[in-house]
């Protein structure tokens, strides 16, 4: 189900930063765990990171750990993805997703999320 809208993507140079936002559309996600995924051309969608419903726990893919930070502000948007020190290999369509079953913990798999956005393109040049 598509009830999330991502924004903030663009074309940047290696080493630059971007902040992606994930907005809710027609539903409140304040009690949902939120995840970020990315998909490059010709590749499967891969997990980037996730944040618990109350913001108390975050979990990141090793390749982005220390560079990316997930946060949330439910009064404005369900989740944000701050990306620093971007590399060309970070280029992909980034999507946010919502898990309505927060009691089961943070999930890395696509199957663990019920609600998705269409994604925003991030392109990092050398």
Tokens of 39: 């998909």
DSSP bridge pairs for 81: 20, 70
What tens digit of pLDDT does each residue of 24-46 get?
988 889 999 999 999 999 999 99
What tens digit of pLDDT does each residue of 49-91 get?
999 999 999 999 999 999 999 999 977 888 999 999 999 999 9
What tens digit of pLDDT does each residue of 95-112 get?
999 999 989 999 999 999
Cβ(51)–Cβ(58) under 8 Å?
yes
Q: What is the 3-state secondary structure (H, E, C) of 36-72?
A: EEEECCCCCCEEEEEECCCCCCEEECCCCCCCEEEEE
């Amino acid at each position: 189900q598509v009830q999330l809208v991502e924004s903030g993507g663009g074309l940047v140079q290696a080493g630059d930063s971007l902040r992606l936002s994930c907005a809710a559309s027609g539903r409140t996600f304040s009690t949902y765990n939120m995840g970020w995924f990315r998909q490059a051309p010709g590749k499967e969608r891969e997990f980037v990171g996730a944040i618990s419903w109350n913001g108390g726990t975050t979990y990141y893919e090793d390749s982005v750990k220390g560079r990316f930070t997930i946060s949330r502000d439910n009064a404005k948007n369900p989740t944000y993805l701050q990306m620093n020190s971007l590399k060309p290999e970070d280029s992909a369509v980034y999507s946010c997703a919502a898990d309505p079953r927060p009691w089961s913990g943070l999930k890395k798999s696509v199957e663990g999320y019920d609600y998705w956005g269409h994604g925003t393109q991030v392109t990092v040049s050398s």
